[in-house]
Amino acid sequence: MPKLFAILFVFMTALAASSAHAVQPDEVMSDPAREARARDLSRELRCMVCQNQSIDDSDAPLARDLRLLVRERIASGDSDAQVIDFLVARYGEFVLLKPRFNSHTLLLWLLPPLALAGGGLALWVNMRRRSGSGAREDESLVKLTADEEARLERLLDAEASSEKPL
């Protein structure tokens, strides 16, 4: 039973740590609806310092500045799309954790499925080649004459009779 509590404690600690956010109390907007919009937008934006974290999760000073900028734009009445467009115009597409699908990001979006399809095709060709080569090897075996088959049968029978059962 103590082992179960230890496992539960570790799980709950990991769960609590993963939900921690870097948003400081002085950044929080007074209107809960606007704050929710700001948090949603912050989860979509990449921290330019950390690069694998959203600005909502990052403790970097630049992430804080971006969070404040998002809240400032929301407070001035911008829509979510206008806030995102403003940040993309200022920092480029890299600021988005999930880049938009356009001509500049076409390769980024299509490369993973193409690589997966290419790998599957390579496996399929390899399996076909292996199964085809096995059939060709059977065809290339030398056929035994009747005398050779009889001799082989006698040898196998002699060997089987000389083996002692366990």
Question: In this structure, what CATH number is given to the domain that contains residue 14?
Answer: 1.10.8.640
Is residue 84 in some structural domain?
Answer: yes
Domain that holds residue 130: 106-162
Closest listed residue to residue 54, CA positions, set 76, 22, 92:
22
Model pLDDT, residue 18: 46
**What string of pLDDT tens digits covers the 166 residues of the chain?**
677 666 766 666 665 554 445 677 667 777 888 889 989 999 999 888 887 888 888 888 888 889 999 999 999 999 999 999 999 999 888 888 888 888 877 888 889 999 999 999 999 999 988 887 655 555 557 788 999 999 999 999 888 887 766 5
Amino acid at 40: D
> Is 96 within 8 Å of 45 (Cβ atoms)?
yes
Say what the pTM is: 0.55
Domain count, the chain: 2
Task: Decide which of 48, 64, 95 is a domain's last residue.
Answer: 95
